[in-house]
């Protein structure tokens, strides 16, 4: 099953913060985060490999809680350029080579 992301959509004003969650019913080995701007292809943001790991990319950071089978993406002091759809992705852990994406979160930042 796909990881479930929440919220499904969020609207922010420039400078506000947001958190996007990714929860899986299966064990997570690693989590990737991708961003897709409107009409474009998804682009890689960051990878988290270990439980409890946190990473940062500009004012976007993420955490990965292996025990809770979830990851969160934190967008701080959001900018107009942060608008898009965010996906978490993870390799299937049931013995296949599938790579599965979450349900997606649409983020719109207003001036």
Partner 1 sequence: NAGVTQTPKFQVLKTGQSMTLQCAQDMNHEYMSWYRQDPGMGLRLIHYSVGAGITDQGEVPNGYNVSRSTTEDFPLRLLSAAPSQTSVYFCASSYTRPGTVGSGANVLTFGAGSRLTVL
When asked if residue 5 is in the footprint of partner 1 (CB under 8 A), the reply is yes
When asked if residue 33 is in the footprint of partner 1 (CB under 8 A), the reply is no
For residue 8, the SS3 value is coil
Our CB check for partner 1 shows the closer of 84 and 102 to be 102
Please answer whether residues 12 and 73 qualify as being in contact, where contact means their C-beta atoms are separated by less than 8 angstroms: no
When asked if residue 29 is in the footprint of partner 1 (CB under 8 A), the reply is yes
When asked if residue 91 is in the footprint of partner 1 (CB under 8 A), the reply is yes
Our CB check for partner 1 shows the closer of 49 and 80 to be 49
Please answer whether residues 51 and 35 qualify as being in contact, where contact means their C-beta atoms are separated by less than 8 angstroms: no
Please give the backbone phi and psi of residue 90, each rounded to the nearest 5 degrees, phi first: -155, 145
When asked if residue 71 is in the footprint of partner 1 (CB under 8 A), the reply is no
Sites of contact with partner 1 (CB under 8 A): 2, 5, 8, 29-32, 34, 40-44, 47, 49, 87, 89-91, 96-104
């Amino acid at each position: 099953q796909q990881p479930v992301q929440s919220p499904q959509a969020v609207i922010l004003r420039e400078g506000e913060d947001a958190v996007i969650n990714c929860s899986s019913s299966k064990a997570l080995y690693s989590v990737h985060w991708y961003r897709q701007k409107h009409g474009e292809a998804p682009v890689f943001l960051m990878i988290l490999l270990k439980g409890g790991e946190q990473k940062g990319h500009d004012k976007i950071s993420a955490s990965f809680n292996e025990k809770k089978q979830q990851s969160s993406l934190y967008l701080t002091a959001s900018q107009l350029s942060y608008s898009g759809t965010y996906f978490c992705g993870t390799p299937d852990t049931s013995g296949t080579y599938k790579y599965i994406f979450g349900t997606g979160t649409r983020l719109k930042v207003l001036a």
